Amino acid sequence: MSDWREEHDSMGAVFVPSDKLWGAQTERSRVHFPIGTETMPTELVHAFGIIKKAAAKANRILLPEKMTEEKCAAICAASEEIMAGRLQEHFPLVVWQTGSGTHTNMNVNEVIAARANRQAGKPLLHPNDDVNLSQSSNDTFPTAMHIAATLSIEDRLIPALDSLIDELLRLESENAEVLTIGRTHLQDAVPIRFSQEISGWRASLAQDRAMLLASLPPLLELALGGTAVGTGLNAPRGFDALVASEIAALTGKPFVAAKNKFHALSSLDEMVFAHGAMKSLAGDLMKMANDIRWLASGPRCGLGEISIPANEPGSSIMPGKVNPSQCEQVTMVAVQVMANDVAVGLAASQGNFQLNVFLPVCAYNFLQSARLLADSIHAFRTFCVCGIRPNRIRMQENLHRSLMLVTALSPHIGYESAARVAQLAFQESITLREACARLGLLTEDRFDAIIRPEEMV
């Protein structure tokens, strides 16, 4: 057993890999839950590092007889390594564990204690008595969820979204004078400026951004200090407010103690609300990506009204084929986010009494959505949207072939007469101008004076 060391917990002895920092409780979870490959998200582990450092500093102030300066410094140092991602290999546990996330909280406690004890060369810290002082898994895990969710949205997703919105603003400006044909029900409609079409995409994303920002204030309320059931048992008075202020200082975000800890431990409302904003963003990205690949379809037998970058070969059998692969990755990510929203909502509905025990699956799906959206948006902007170019010749051809230009005739000849013009033009494969003259409704000169696409937008 030279590759193993013996560790102890309240249930007895356990053998742990000698090169790993985790202890007995982590090893028990690793053995008893060999389920899937989905490990706890790195964002969540990072958030736990923030919590443990903040808790040690708060305990140093409120419980100095227990949290000595030496212990506090040791916990802070190990926590900083976790926050920096340098100890990630020591967090092996899967999502499919206890629904409170206790195993992961103890994984963090054990790693910090072991790391500090090795550095000190003595048994300085105990995972429960020192690293977990004034805390419970029941309040640390939902707190880690809120911290990770806030940082993922504000520091990763919003910046990616801002870059895409800026790129669309540039495209709007460049295409302000380009006329094209609008489409409703996938059928020809009246004219539109290409910049107006782009503005629709951009405004949708801006609205999603506003909803994401609106979801952040509820996430800033933290459960920490509620301990096991919300009463704060075994935590000193004022710990919740003090530890929240320490977390705020560490993250630069205005985190505060939740007003009602019984809600904070048993409800996931804030996660559902924030994920709903991400689902809305996914829906708008789906729409935008579909529009772009329709407009770029062809290049000869589709709409072909825009060109997008040719990043890689599109077929293993058809030489020269290029596919809208960036649009496809966006739509697949959107599908995953929409599916994740179902999991987040169902998990939130399952709180019983003083605790929700669907926390890991909620955290996993939420953080995956934020990560996928940020990465997807970055790639989409860089490898697709930046390279969109209008095919002005094709746009002009389609614009002047559209039967719906007849809409401009309605005020002059009436709706029903205008419909007869459109129907005749379609049936006889002639122009609207020719159809109008054949029906004796308007002279060609008068038709030309009325049908001016640039004035219809």
Global pTM? 0.96
Could you confirm whether 315 is annotated as catalytic?
yes
Mean pLDDT (whole number) for 60-88? 98
- Would residue 234 count as lying in a domain? no
Structure tokens at 438: 């054949």
Q: How far apart are CA 109 and CA 51, in angstroms?
A: 11
- Would residue 229 count as lying in a domain? no
- Would residue 189 count as lying in a domain? no
Annotated catalytic residue within 315, 376, 378, 412: 315
Mean pLDDT (whole number) for 279-295? 98
Mark whether 323 and 211 lie in a shared domain.
Answer: yes
- Asked whether residue 17 carries a pLDDT value surpassing 80, the answer given is yes
- Asked whether residue 258 carries a pLDDT value surpassing 70, the answer given is yes
Q: DSSP code of 154?
A: I
What pLDDT was estimated at residue 2? Answer: 66
Mean pLDDT (whole number) for 372-388? 98
Mark whether 166 and 48 lie in a shared domain.
Answer: no
Select from 275, 152, 283, 151 the least CA-distant residue to 205: 283
The percentage of residues in the chain with a pLDDT greater than 70, rounded to a whole number, is: 100
Q: How confident is the model at residue 1 (pLDDT cuts 50, 70, 90)?
A: low
Select from 202, 252, 58, 33 the least CA-distant residue to 140: 58
CATH number, domain with residue 381: 1.20.200.10
- Would residue 187 count as lying in a domain? no
- Asked whether residue 418 carries a pLDDT value surpassing 80, the answer given is yes
Domains in the chain, number: 3
The shares of helix, strand and coil residues in the chain, as percent rounded to the nearest 5, are 65, 10, 30
What pLDDT was estimated at residue 408? Answer: 95
β-bridge partners, 355: 352
Task: Kindly report, residue by residue over 358-373, the tens digit of the pLDDT.
Answer: 999 999 999 999 999 9
- Which three-class secondary structure state does DSSP give residue 315? coil
Instruction: Please give the backbone phi and psi of residue 192, each rounded to the nearest 5 degrees, phi first.
Output: -155, 150
Q: How far apart are CA 327 and CA 295, in angstroms?
A: 12
Mark whether 374 and 409 lie in a shared domain.
Answer: no
Task: Kindly report, residue by residue over 91-128, the tens digit of the pLDDT.
Answer: 999 999 999 999 999 999 999 999 999 999 999 999 99
Q: How far apart are CA 275 and CA 263, in angstroms?
A: 19
Q: What is the dihedral of CA 325, 329, 332, 337, to 10 degrees?
A: -160
Mark whether 88 and 207 lie in a shared domain.
Answer: no
Q: Which amino acid is at 160?
A: A
Task: Identify the domain boundary among 337, 368, 392.
Answer: 392
- Would residue 186 count as lying in a domain? no
- Asked whether residue 53 carries a pLDDT value surpassing 80, the answer given is yes
What pLDDT was estimated at residue 404? Answer: 94
- Asked whether residue 22 carries a pLDDT value surpassing 70, the answer given is yes
Q: How far apart are CA 148 and CA 222, in angstroms?
A: 12
Task: Kindly report, residue by residue over 120-160, the tens digit of the pLDDT.
Answer: 999 999 999 999 999 999 999 999 999 999 999 999 999 99
- Asked whether residue 269 carries a pLDDT value surpassing 90, the answer given is yes
Q: Are the C-beta atoms of residues 124 and 71 closer than 8 Å to each other?
A: yes
What pLDDT was estimated at residue 272? Answer: 98
Q: How far apart are CA 22 and CA 114, in angstroms?
A: 7
Mark whether 295 and 374 lie in a shared domain.
Answer: yes
* Host domain of residue 414: 402-455
Average of per-residue pLDDT values in the chain: 97
Q: Which amino acid is at 314?
A: G
Q: What is the dihedral of CA 149, 155, 158, 161, to 10 degrees?
A: -120
What string of H, E and C letters represents the secondary structure of 93-131?
Answer: CECCCCCCCHHHHHHHHHHHHHHHHHHHCCCCCCHHHHH
- Would residue 52 count as lying in a domain? yes
What pLDDT was estimated at residue 47? Answer: 98
Task: Kindly report, residue by residue over 349-359, the tens digit of the pLDDT.
Answer: 999 999 999 99
- Asked whether residue 255 carries a pLDDT value surpassing 90, the answer given is yes
Annotated catalytic residue within 185, 204, 316, 402: 185
Mark whether 166 and 295 lie in a shared domain.
Answer: yes
Mark whether 285 and 205 lie in a shared domain.
Answer: yes
Mark whether 87 and 202 lie in a shared domain.
Answer: no
